[in-house]
Chain A
Amino acid sequence: GNSVTQMEGPVTLSEEAFLTINCTYTATGYPSLFWYVQYPGEGLQLLLKATKADDKGSNKGFEATYRKETTSFHLEKGSVQVSDSAVYFCALSDQGTGRRALTFGSGTRLQVQP
């Protein structure tokens, strides 16, 4: 079946540091890949997505590249801010399984200190 594995948190960084959150996946078909962000007390919001191999998703300074050869979709940002503190979820959508929903990783909490 499908699965998504994320690095465990929390990840604690100082403001302006470089961020990488690792995500790898297992899927039976050709998935689309997503990063969602959850701010404290809120629901999830889509951060970025990529629908095919070698696509790069980007938004708000965050980037992730769909790497089929390594089954990865690592999230990066060059300079984090305190306002980026949140929980980040990697997810996939795989039509090959017939399931019409997302499979999520366990989430990675990011804490950015001033």
Chain B
Amino acid sequence: NAGVTQTPKFQVLKTGQSMTLQCAQDMNHNSMYWYRQDPGMGLRLIYYSASEGTTDKGEVPNGYNVSRLNKREFSLRLESAAPSQTSVYFCASSEESGLGNEQFFGPGTRLTVL
């Protein structure tokens, strides 16, 4: 039981390049999330998926797209990377997206955009 896995762990891009961050969970959770973590700002929600087939914007969605490929997988795509997207990206999942439900986090992807 691996929990939430993310690939890659580290990535360096040049401005304008594209890439996809992969996330998978093996807990049969309905809801999945993408956050970014910046120094002094905590985690901010980029996109979430309450269930398979649905996605919604979070607090900071500009410059990103997501795909809920199936119940297990939720990917985050940067179409044209910018230095402002340098951050640590965390994927999370939860059984339901209501109150009081624990979110389980992956180990993160550290992205640097030059």
Question: Contact residues of A with B, CB < 8 Å?
Answer: 4, 31-32, 36, 41-46, 49, 51, 89, 93-95, 99-102, 104-107
Contacts and interface: CB of A to CB of B under 8 A. Distances in A.
A72 to B, nearest CB: 17
Nearest to A30: B99
B58 interface: yes
Given A100-B50, A104-B43, A106-B40, A44 B90 contact: yes
B49 to A, nearest CB: 9
Nearest 8 A-B pairs (CB), nearest first? A100-B97, A43-B105, A104-B42, A51-B100, A44-B105, A32-B100, A101-B45, A32-B99
B106 A105 contact: no
Interface string B88-114: 001010000111111111111000000
A99 to B, nearest CB: 8
B33 A43 contact: no
Interface residues of B, number: 28
B2 interface: no
Q: Helix, strand, loop or mixed for chain A's interface?
A: loop
A102 B103 contact: yes
- Max chain B C-beta neighbours (<10 A), residue from A46, A49, A93: A93
Interface of B: 4, 31, 33, 35, 40-45, 48, 50, 56, 58, 90, 92, 97-108
A107 B42 contact: yes
B32 to A, nearest CB: 10
A106 to B, nearest CB: 5
Contacts of B108: 42-43
Contacts of A36: 105
Given A93-B101, A100-B56, A101-B58, 10 more contacts: A43-B106, A45-B105, A46-B104, A51-B99, A100-B48, A102-B45, A104-B42, A104-B44, A106-B41, A107-B40
A99 B102 CA distance: 15
Given A32-B100, A51-B99, A95-B98, A42 B42 contact: no
Nearest to A96: B99
Nearest to A44: B105
